[in-house]
Amino acid sequence: MRSQRLDPLLRIMQQRQDSVARDVADRERALGEQQERLDALRRYAEEYATAPASTSISPALLVNRLAFRERLNAAVVQQAGIVDQSRQLSDVERARLMLASRETKVLEQLADSYRAQESKAAEQRVQRELDDLGGRRARLAAQAADDGAGS
C-alpha cells in the first residue's frame, strides 16, 4: 500500500520538524539572554552617566570617568550588534521551521489522500464480492427453481 510506504518518510519528516523546533527554541532562548544583557548594560550606562560626580573631582579622575563611559558605550553598541545577529539567526531558524512544517503537512496530506483511496478501493472490492455472492445465490436459487419445475 502506498500510504504505508510513506509512513517511514513521514516519521523522518516529523523528527526533522521536531529538531528544527528545538533549534528555534534554543535560538529564542539565546536571543532572550542577549537582549537581557543589552538591557542591563544600557541601564548601567544610563545610571553611570546620570550619577552625580563629585564637584571636587580631579582632572585625572574625570579623564578616567570619561574613558570608562566610552568603554561602556562601546560595550552597549557591541552587545546591540550581538542581539541583532542573534535575532537574524532566530529568524532564519523560524523560517526553517515553517518550511519543515509545510513539507510535513504536504506529506501528511498525501498520505491521507492515499489512505482514502485505499479505503475506497477496499470498500468497492467488498461491495463487488457481496454483489458476486448475491448473484451466485440468485443463480443457484433460479437453477434450483428450474430443476424443481422441470422434474
Domain assignment present for 36: yes
pLDDT at 29: 96
- DSSP element (H, E) containing 142: helix 59-150
Question: How large is the average pLDDT for residues 50-70?
Answer: 83
Domain of residue 87: give its range.
Answer: 2-119
pLDDT in tens, 12-53: 999 999 999 999 999 999 999 999 999 999 999 999 888 776
CATH number reported for the structural domain that contains residue 90 in this entry: 1.10.287
Domain assignment present for 151: no
Q: Considering its fold, how many domains does the chain have in total?
A: 1
Domain assignment present for 143: no
pLDDT band at 151 (very low <50, low <70, confident <90, very high): low
Tell which residue, 98, 135, 123, has the closest CA to residue 17: 98
Q: pTM surpassing 0.95?
A: no
Domain assignment present for 139: no
